[in-house]
Amino acid sequence: MLKDITLGQYFPGKSFIHKLDPRTKILCAIVYIAVIFCIKSFLGYFVLFAFTALIVALSKIPVRFVLKGLKPIMMFVAITALFNLLLTDGRILWKWGFLKITYEGLTQAVYMVLRLFFLVFGTSILTLTTSPIALTDGIERLLSPLKKIGVPAHEFAMMMTIALRFVPTLLEETDKIIKAQTARGADFESGNIINRAKAMVPILIPLFISAFRRADDLATAMECRCYRGGENRTRLRELKLGYRDGVCWFVVLIFSALILLANYFQVSGLL
């Protein structure tokens, strides 16, 4: 049940996308997200869709797996769409009592849904093709210029590595605790909201206790191995930009330009 969460899960592979430098991927993901919010026409979304499809095809990750990442946000998307649909003022298309659907609301809702979908797609392709370690390495390198003004880039990266590393561990732990309490007759499915919240106590307390214990153990283990921060630390795998990163930037910039251009070529029938 808990293991079905795709968001933030690495899918090992050797594709073009997998081999890209993590810095390239992170920055491209940021550009991608920025572009999503600049789109003002359906044509733009069409170009974005073509670009996303190209990346998914290149990454050789089963489409089914990428789509699974959408499942956890479905509820959120549905609510957002509903609110936008019903609460936007404008030209009224349909009305029933106090409920109304406007032309503007309809387009707004469709835009929101598309934006959220593409946001999840973009970020899940980043995390699916980049191992957590490469990801934090990339972040550390990207942030390292900020060290000069006192930003602890290495410590940030280390904290992120540790946090990411413990996500599966804690999920597994939660699964185990839920099973143990279920075996003792705990009921998480019935009752009103207050009862259900109360039913979480037997899970949360053991989870917190074990998380603190693990943090303690990890700190001891790191000290035992003489860990003392980022000063003069060398690494096993140095990040290197290659021809692939050049190709990637070229394609990303061309697509971004195309998408932004599409804003000026609005197809009248579709808005």
Partner 1 sequence: MIKLTDVSYTYMSGGPFESAAVENVSVTLNSGEFIGLMGHTGSGKSTLIQMIAGLIKPTSGSIEIDGQVLHSKNCDKRAMRFKTGLVMQYPEYQLFEETVFKDISFGPTNMGLPKDEIKRRVESAANLVGLDEDILQKSPFELSGGQKRRVAIAGVLAMEPKLLILDEPTAGLDPAGRDEILFKIRDMHKRLGITVILVSHSMEDLANLTQKIMVMNHGRLVMYDKTSEIFKKTHELKDLGLAVPQITEICDKLREKGFPVPAGIYTLDTAKAEIEKVLKNEKR
Contact residue for partner 1 among 16, 42, 49, 65 (CB under 8 A): 65
Cα separation, 137 vs 127, whole angstroms? 13
Q: According to CB under 8 A, which residues from 222 to 251 bind partner 1?
A: none
Binding flag, residue 210, partner 1 (CB under 8 A): yes
Q: Is the dihedral of CA 11, 15, 16, 21 positive or negative?
A: positive
**Cα 132–122–126 angle (5° rounding)?**
20
How many positions of this chain bind partner 1 (CB under 8 A)?
A: 23
User: Which of 149, 183, 224, 226 is the binder for partner 1 (CB under 8 A)?
Assistant: 183
Which of 12, 97, 150, 269 is the binder for partner 1 (CB under 8 A)? 12
Give the residue ranges of DSSP H helices in 184-240: 193-199, 201-224
CA distance 96 to 36: 33
Rounded to an integer, what distance in angstroms lies between the CA atom of residue 12 and that of residue 130? 8
- Residue 245 backbone dihedrals phi, psi, to 5 degrees: -65, -35
Output the smallest distance, CB 62 to partner 1, in A: 9
Beta bridge partners of 101: 94
Nearest distance, CB of residue 196 and partner 1, angstroms? 14
Binding map of partner 1 across residues 117-156, x = CB under 8 A, - = no contact = ----------------------------------------
Residues in contact with partner 1 by CB under 8 A are 3, 11-12, 64-65, 173, 176-177, 179-187, 201-202, 205-206, 209-210
